[in-house]
Amino acid sequence: MKNNIRLYKFSVFLRRLLIWLLLFGFALLFLLPFFFLFTGSFKTSSELFTVPFRWFPKKWSLNNYRAVFTKIPFFRYLRNTLIIVFFNIIGALVSNSLIAYGFARLRWPGRDKIFLIVIATMILPYQVTLIPVYIMFTKLKWIGTFLPLVVPGFFGNAFYIFLMRQFLVGIPRELTESARIDGANEFMIYLRLIIPISKPVLATVAIMSFMRSWNDFLGPLIFLASDKLYTLSLAASMLRSNLDPNWELLLALGAVMVMPVLVLFFLLQKYFIQGITMSGIKG
Amino acid sequence: MAKEKKKKVNPYKTSVMRRKEARNGLLFVLPWIIGFLAFTLYPIAASLYYSLCNYTVIKPPRFIGTANYRALFHDATFLASCRNTLFMICVGVPVTTVVAVSVSILLNYKKLRGTSWMRVVFFIPTLVPTVVACLLWIWVMQPDTGIVNTLLRYIGIQGPGWLSSVKWAKPAFILMMIWTCGNAIIIYLAGLQDVSETLYDAAAIDGAGFFKQTIYITIPLLRPTILYNVVTLIIGVFQWFTEPYIMTEGGPSNATMFYSLYLYQNAFSFFKMGYASAQAYIMLVVAMLVILFLFRVLKFGETEMDS
């Protein structure tokens, strides 16, 4: 009897160990590209191309990073990216909080039907609207400026509206009702009462909007005609399409582009995860 | 009370407060209405019209009926892009889903310690800017010096040429798809949190082990979550652009020419806007049909509990 229990306990332990090892191995595989990015960014060009593959650089040299900051107009690309990111975050916060407020806390005829349209636009492939929008921006002479990448952000985004509406619907009505009876106007209620308590969802929207514009490639590729306006992502792809791309520099540039996102993630993990789990909840 | 019983009473006509509220509501959503008209509704209509036109940007669009659509079905590159995209939907999406669900279920396995850092590991690839991920995977997949083939060599397998091989380029993209499935894993883990512990306890008393519990309890209850992620993945595959654009430019011999890449080339390399619009519309219809099929025919969105 005692032996049996011991055997059972051992088999449970064994299974747990097996599952853990399986996950552990798989997790290591997921880390490999990161490992390559960071070790590769310290390698010399010839080291990158040696066969067989060398796991660590012979000498940890910062030359590639130095090259990123001196050989290419890195800071111009960074500034361009940050301008676009900044206005996208502002636009997302302002427009989506207003719109979500209108959908969540005010009653007007047809509201719920229109909200369904908002949801439906989420699964609309952007290719269907891309070409007319491009032609529209061409006619407005906005190609070769940041405007096409910034202005649409001020008119709401279906997913952010959905996220914020979910949050605002949860705020009890009594909270705003008394202010309304006291004669406060709707905008004041939104600004003074709702915005302050919406900080968590605003943070989530800000982060998602940051990620989207920091990572965006197609938008800059289509709308930013001149090298002067290139974002980091676009610059990286242009450097890669050179006949003889400077790979060690590209890896260092990649590492520099990944770093801020990783740091931000480790600081604000909660908000990153929140936005994604919210998206999985049925609307 | 008596008033409420009559169905036809319109509160917006009787109450000044309600009228004011309605006006305010519309004012608050005004940015969305403007954006919807300018950046969604008008473009949808315009691209339908363009798809029936010969339009090269330089000259105004000239109506040519369904010629673009008919031409597409004789366009070998377009047909290749359809086949490749279909391959990714039929092979890549299921493979990625199986991996993501399995990893999530194992991560969620009770009494398993030391997995929280793994969750982070599975998630962080999604944080890498797409362009950087592409640069990385070009190297990871390198036939001689790449990490993947180096590891394969350790266990005695001569790895394929991956991105430079007609046969292995698409599987390489599937591997990359798996690498970036962290969002799905997070959503699955959230879905698994909602599965009630008592169900497992009851099953355990009935003698069902981990695998039986997974098949009869976890997977059925996870169905809505799986559907959501599958739909997201399929939309993603239709819109897949950056990866093939940077890594392979559609090659070798169109093996990685995916739907959106060819659409982009037609629109922005060859400036065949009408032709590209027709592609966009076919994509819209097909994507909608696929999603509808998943919801209606497979009843994927319902859990066992609902039905």
In a domain, B63, yes or no: no
**pLDDT of amino acid B277:** 95
Average the pLDDT over each of A132-136, A240-244, B253-257 and give the range with the smallest value: A240-244
Same domain, yes or no: B187 and B259: yes
**pLDDT of amino acid B306:** 39
Residue A1: band (very low, low, confident or very high) from pLDDT cuts 50, 70, 90: low
Helix axis angle for B130-140 and B147-154, nearest 10°, is 40
Same domain, yes or no: B46 and B82: no
In a domain, B56, yes or no: no
Same domain, yes or no: B89 and B202: yes
Question: Helix-strand-coil percent breakdown of chain B, rounded to 5?
Answer: 70, 0, 25
Between B25, B140, B190, which is nearest A277 by CB? B190
Determine which of B17, B29, B158 to mutate to test the interface with A (most A C-beta atoms within 10 Å): B29
Same domain, yes or no: B152 and B103: yes
Same domain, yes or no: B26 and B87: no
Same domain, yes or no: B111 and B253: yes
Contacting A residues, span 230-249, partner chain B, CB-CB under 8 Å: 232-234, 236-237, 240, 247
Same domain, yes or no: B47 and B186: no
**pLDDT of amino acid A123:** 82
Q: Determine how β-strand B62-63 pairs with β-strand B53-54.
A: antiparallel
Same domain, yes or no: B144 and B291: yes
Would the pLDDT of A242 be above 90? no
Contacts of B127 in chain A (CB under 8 A): 211, 258, 261-262, 265
Contacts of A91 in chain B (CB under 8 A): none
Same domain, yes or no: B217 and B97: yes
Determine which of B89, B109, B130, B135 to mutate to test the interface with A (most A C-beta atoms within 10 Å): B135
Same domain, yes or no: B148 and B189: yes
Assign B63 to helix, strand or coil.
strand
The amino acid present at B171, given as its one-letter code, is P
**pLDDT of amino acid B297:** 67
Would the pLDDT of A226 be above 90? no
In a domain, B132, yes or no: yes
β-sheet bridge partners, residue B196: none
Same domain, yes or no: B105 and B169: yes
The reply to whether omega before B31 is within 30° of 0 (cis) is no
Superfamily of domain A72-280: MetI-like (1.10.3720.10)
User: Which of A117, A212, A208, A112 lies closest to A158 in space, CA to CA?
Assistant: A117
- Across the interface, whether the CB atoms of A129 and B44 are under 8 A apart is answered yes
* Alpha carbon separation from B87 to A100, A117, B92, B285 (Å, rounded): 39, 31, 7, 18
- The total domain count for chain B is 2
The interface pTM score, or ipTM, of the predicted complex is 0.90
In a domain, B121, yes or no: yes
In a domain, B148, yes or no: yes
Report the distance separating Cα A102 and Cα B126, nearest Å: 32
**pLDDT of amino acid A244:** 78
Same domain, yes or no: B152 and B281: yes
- Please give the interface size between A and B, counted as residue pairs whose CB atoms are below 8 Å apart: 251
Its domain, for residue B171, covers: 74-297
CB-facing half-sphere around the CA of A260: CA atoms within 13 A: 14
Q: Does B287 touch chain A (CB under 8 A)?
A: yes
Ranges of chain B with pLDDT below 50: 1-5, 303-307
**pLDDT of amino acid A271:** 87
Contacts of B47 in chain A (CB under 8 A): 128-129, 131-132
The reply to whether omega before B252 is within 30° of 0 (cis) is yes
Contacting A residues, span 90-149, partner chain B, CB-CB under 8 Å: 95, 98-99, 101-103, 106-109, 111, 114, 117-118, 121, 123-136, 138
Q: What is the mean pLDDT of chain A?
A: 90
For position B177, which CATH number holds?
1.10.3720.10
In a domain, B61, yes or no: no
In a domain, B218, yes or no: yes
Between B36, B139, B245, which is nearest A40 by CB? B139
Would the pLDDT of A72 be above 80? yes
Global pTM reads 0.89
pLDDT, tens only, B166-192: 889 999 999 999 999 999 999 999 888
pLDDT, tens only, A23-53: 999 999 999 999 999 998 998 888 888 877 8
**Residue in chain B nearest A186 by alpha carbon:** B24
- Across the interface, whether the CB atoms of A30 and B121 are under 8 A apart is answered yes
DSSP assignment of B143-202 equals TTT-HHHHHHHHTT-----GGG-TTTHHHHHHHHHHHT-HHHHHHHHHHHHTS-HHHHHH
